[in-house]
Structure 1
Amino acid sequence: MTKHLHSGLFPGHVTHVRHRPKHHRLAYRIFSLLLDLDELGELDRRLRLFSVDRFNLFSFHRRDRGDRSGPDLRSQVERSMLECGLEPDGGPIRLVTMPRVLGFAFNPLSIFFCYGQNAGVRAILWEVDNTFGERHAYMIPVEHMDGAEIVQCCDKAFFVSPFMDMDLHYKFRVLAPADTLSVHIDTFDRDGLVLTARHLARRIALTDQALLHAFLSIPLLALKVVAGIYWEALKIRMKGIRLRTRPRPPEAPVSVVPSSATPRTSLERNG
């Protein structure tokens, strides 16, 4: 009998809406993988079009994530869990990320969902890459729920867009990936909502046939994402939005939000 996999393929859409100082909207199709870190070996053996740590049509290289040091992503994530006051118990860690396609990948955002052995999601690690080759992550415990939706907040610590200030606050609303994936990120400044980003996707089984269909639908996924970033940046600049100076990245690779200390966004502070 074929083993059931928690890993999956999530074709979907990403939208960004800038509300101030000038309205701007972008939308594009992408596909992401949900990778259970404990299933990587099984995926490498089972799939012909997907490999782990070696070249293929699709691949995932563990050194592409975390601190880029090598294979043990689980220990890296669990160290951050300990820093935010959570004792890892060996529960699943599942990563939403875009794979390498023909050896190339760029992920603006990758998300590690950290589960307990006998519970749901205990923490989420939000890993952000910018186009300057820098990376920073936010480890936030799961303490606030709105029904099935996880609600988290943190202050911005890492430069991403040259058109956004640093004194900003994030509010994340996310459904843990199951049959669907829903990620909603609002960005606030002191005056209110600045940017809304959404990623909505629906799960399909991770098979060679599904991977081939995804490739034919979006053959150069990472190049499309990078080209889209620069194209939209040009359009934003033409609307008169000024460039911000890029600060040095934080010394610590992960901003840890301690348990029971999740900050509120500016709108929540203002009532």
Structure 2
Amino acid sequence: MQRRASHILPVHTSGPTDLRDLDRALPDEVPVALVYNGSTLAVMMASPGDLSDFALGFSLTEGIVRSAQELGEIEIIAHDKGIELRMWLAADRAEAVADRRRAIAGPVGCGLCGIDSLDQALRSLPSVGVGTLLRSRDIVAATEALRNAQPLHDETRAVHAAGFYRPGDGILCAREDVGRHNALDKLAGALSLQNHDPSYGALVVTSRLSSEMVQKAAMIGAPVLIAVSAPTALGVRLAEDAGITLVGRARNGRFDIFTHAQRIDTGGPQ
């Protein structure tokens, strides 16, 4: 059973002087269960597209596997009320599932709901590599290119996007979802499957830079994370510790560099 990414629904639209009946495209969201070795680890409300990317990306950014090779065949099982992503792990990686155990449901806006302990919410992160030097024009080009790689957002105006930008190549890959964490997980899976090295480029997202977005970027191994919105203070602290260059409020030709500014050549003092 294939689920559609969007649906056309009727709406009453009110203007200054009139009320009209129109049709609007709205994105779908469904419960997606991530099931490892027969046990459900998490259920996320997500867009029903690019689910193989989502399964792999979630597994990578949550530290359940270290590479795509550690994850076997992904089964996508559609039910009337949602979708199961069934995956199988070797015994040693199954232990990682216990370490990242979540409660059954996690809503779209929250990537930490149901975590068993505070230690897991602020887990240790790997340090990223040196990365590629970016210029100011790359920051501007990355956000502009991502805007042109969001067909579901163009249709619905109601989803987030995450993309991978490389200087000279533009956006090499982009994924969309109703949840910002899900979009980044889908991108992580796609990058792994397409053999793109995240250390030679930048992640670009349409959302705020919350702590978990920074955590996922570190697990992906991306040295630069760019967003059109602002970061949280905790997101900045985590990026500083992980060695990630955090760029926020990147829009209209301007941006703020919050951490590790040495990777961005602005033409001024570093």
TM-score normalised according to structure 2 size: 0.24
Question: Which one scores higher on RCO, CA 8 angstroms, separation ≥ 6?
Answer: 1
More helix by share: 2
More strand by share: 1
